[in-house]
Homo-oligomer: A and B are copies of this chain.
């Protein structure tokens, strides 16, 4: 008998999630039937989307939502060999039985020098998010100026580097001096610590006195109020996240934006990366190529041990990570 551990959500989060909101549960898995396979999670992903989605898609007692890189340890399904790796979406769970439906299998020719955790990172969902969210929605042109916040995060750090690959000037903001140093290391033209600048407006103006053509939005709220005013005519805003708003019980308020949208002829679009699901292989191919060429640098913030997953999640929400936050079982 195989034992499977899962983290469930005890009750809906209020504000920032707390350790006591999670409960570790254990159950025994039944023997495999024909067509089934047993997998073990190798790397589990913790991502900002889990906070708002817990409210929208879960009820108390449910296993926390999420994806992982999992390895087949036993198979009664000829389509899935033991030892192969797949990205699955079964939530915060160590072992599980599946028929393989909906798996995104890792390429067999996975580069030897790259960790498979990239399949939930720079060459996985966060990578696809950066790739499509920037290229399809902002459509940045060579020579344009791109602003990204949460720039040292899993998605933001890739957005900035993809914009550099496309010949843009890239400005990023993050919440610590270490992160700012990291952004400069990976090629951002300008980077600042939004927590220590005198004023965000001044920092944005200094970083690009001419304004911004593209704005990859991860934060929302007050940050967006200020950034919107620095957009150029025909600026494009890709709304990938709004992490400053996820923990609010009462919706926060700010100035109406219609007049900015109007007179600057701005375009703002929110997206969920799943709309491009059919094109994930295309994105993964590009991302792995750029990584192999050294054009796309990645950094992982690894929390060791499944038992530490809630702490890893909370840490990611408070911004302790540089790059992608993953849990190594």
A residues near B, CB below 8 A?
Answer: 52, 56, 217, 220-221, 224, 239-242, 245-246, 251-272, 275
Contact = CB atoms under 8 A, between A and B. Distances in A.
A224 B254 contact: no
24 contacts: A52-B259, A217-B258, A220-B258, A221-B258, A239-B261, A242-B258, A242-B259, A251-B255, A251-B256, A251-B259, A252-B255, A253-B254, A254-B254, A258-B270, A261-B268, A261-B269, A262-B270, A262-B272, A265-B269, A265-B271, A265-B272, A267-B268, A267-B269, A267-B270
Contact of A268 (B254, B269, B272): B269
Contact of A270 (B240, B245, B254, B263): B263
A242 B256 contact: yes
Contacts of A267: 267-270
A30 B313 CA distance: 77
Contacts of A255: 251-253
Nearest to A246: B259
Given A267-B267, A268-B267, A257 B257 contact: yes
Nearest to A269: B267
A275 B270 contact: no
